[in-house]
Amino acid sequence: MKIRQICFPEVGKVVYQEVERDLPVGPDDVLIRTLYSAVSAGTELAKYTGLQDVKYPFIPGNRAVGEVVEVGEKVEDFRPGDNVFTHTTHVSHAKATKMCAKVPDGVDLCHAPLIGLALVAITAVRVAKPELGDRALVTGMGLVGNFCAQFLKNSGVEVIVADTVEARLEAARACGVAATVNPAEKEAPAKVMEFSCGHGVEYVIEATGNPVVMDLVTSVNAKQGEVILLGSPRGEHQTDVVPLLNAVHLWRDHGCVTMKGAHEWRFPLYPDGYSKHSMKRNAEIIFRMMADGRLKTGPLVTHVLKPEQAEQAFDGLMNRKNEYLGVIFDWTGEEMCKR
């Protein structure tokens, strides 16, 4: 079978190519024809730039929506013609990997692969377990951070968000999160404290993966607050860690802070009879929120590009953050996306 794909042949280079590949369908397999795939900017740029060590050539991507074209004899939940979300790469045809979930009616297929980023974001809410009236700061208004802020707001939490890129703060406001702050400004901590009526925020959700942000965290958390590490920490940062350790250890000021990890794969893929949450259950909830408008995606999709424009996509995400936020590759060749 002739497959179209996006590839990182080496660090800092991206190409679109056609290759021959056999995709035999086994008894438990689901073969899909990709319709749309979303770029997970933090993860994929880390691999593109060499910040994250991978073996090249490397095929990026793990958030896609496709049409089922063939299923194995043991598959009962899917049939040809179904539209599904799955964690496949930026390729035209693939066998569904990890979790596979049907896309319900009412969800824009072009935006549907963004659920992959929302599945990351919802993990922070599951881990934090916020209550009605709590306050939270979300640092980083990429797709994951924006979705996290929306989930918190839908849970009755008062949310303020931080980013150094004004266009991303504008996108947050367009998604209903009114309180924003630029952490590069000297008065940023004071603005967060004013937002929290001087008490500090009960939750800081760190969605950038940039360890520099932790310097802000120690000054705005409420006593007995929580820091949720949602973005995967990458890069080096030399600093005095004593303020952070004191924030965890001491009682006074903003002390007794708890730090928690919120990695999406902490949940089982499917309901197992023991855990309340699973990736599939989270996906079903998120799709319902997309369908009824509680989770907004329109302001987040800045570019719908052909796979042949992959070089433009990754250059934009890396060098023009004020223009590029949500990038989706359209594998259909048709104008199906609602903008």
For the cut 50, the answer to whether the pLDDT of residue 337 exceeds it is: no
| 285 assigned to some structural domain | no
- Are 28 and 154 in the same domain? no
- Are 135 and 255 in the same domain? yes
Q: What is the mean pLDDT of residues 93-117?
A: 95
Q: What is the mean pLDDT of residues 201-224?
A: 87
Helices within the chain (DSSP H only): 41-49, 115-128, 143-154, 166-174, 188-195, 214-220, 242-249, 279-291, 310-319
pLDDT tens-digit readout, 223-279: 999 999 998 888 788 888 888 888 889 887 778 999 999 999 999 999 998 989 999
Q: What is the mean pLDDT of residues 319-339?
A: 81
pLDDT tens-digit readout, 42-80: 999 999 999 998 999 999 999 999 999 999 999 999 999
| Confidence (pLDDT) at 124 | 97
- Are 166 and 217 in the same domain? yes
Q: Which residues of 296-333 are buried (b: 16+ CB within 10 A; e: fewer)?
A: bbebbbbbbeebebbebbbebbeeebeebbbbbbbbbe
Structural domain ending residue among the three candidates 218, 249, 264: 264
| 231 assigned to some structural domain | yes
Structural domain ending residue among the three candidates 264, 281, 312: 264
- Are 84 and 210 in the same domain? no
- Are 253 and 180 in the same domain? yes
Distance of alpha carbon 157 from alpha carbon 222, whole angstroms: 15
For the cut 70, the answer to whether the pLDDT of residue 6 exceeds it is: yes
pLDDT-derived band of residue 332, with 50, 70 and 90 as boundaries? Answer: very high
The CATH number for 10's domain is 3.90.180.10
| Confidence (pLDDT) at 339 | 36
| 318 assigned to some structural domain | yes
| 198 assigned to some structural domain | yes
3-state secondary structure string across 37-94: EECCHHHHHHHHHCCCCCCCCECCCCCEEEEEEEECCCCCCCCCCCEEEECCCCECEE
Distance of alpha carbon 323 from alpha carbon 303, whole angstroms: 9
For the cut 50, the answer to whether the pLDDT of residue 336 exceeds it is: no
Q: What is the mean pLDDT of the chain?
A: 93
- Are 94 and 158 in the same domain? no
- Are 103 and 136 in the same domain? no
| Confidence (pLDDT) at 141 | 97
Question: Percent of the chain scored above 90 by pLDDT?
Answer: 84
Domain residues for the domain of 210 are 118-264
- Are 142 and 49 in the same domain? no
Which of 285, 269, 264, 325 lies closest to 107 in space, CA to CA?
A: 285
User: How far is residue 228 from each of residues 107, 148, 221, measured CA to CA in Å?
Assistant: 29, 11, 11
For the cut 70, the answer to whether the pLDDT of residue 338 exceeds it is: no
The CATH number for 234's domain is 3.40.50.720
Question: What pTM value is reported for the model?
Answer: 0.94
Distance of alpha carbon 161 from alpha carbon 149, whole angstroms: 7
Structural domain count of the chain: 2
| Confidence (pLDDT) at 236 | 80
| 282 assigned to some structural domain | no
Structural domain ending residue among the three candidates 239, 264, 289: 264
- Are 306 and 324 in the same domain? yes
- Are 212 and 99 in the same domain? no
- Of all helices (H) and strands (E), which one includes residue 16? strand 13-20
- Are 50 and 18 in the same domain? yes
On whether the CB atoms of residues 169 and 138 are closer than 8 A, the answer is no
| 338 assigned to some structural domain | no
- Are 242 and 323 in the same domain? no
pLDDT tens-digit readout, 120-174: 999 999 999 999 999 999 999 999 999 999 999 999 999 999 999 999 999 999 9
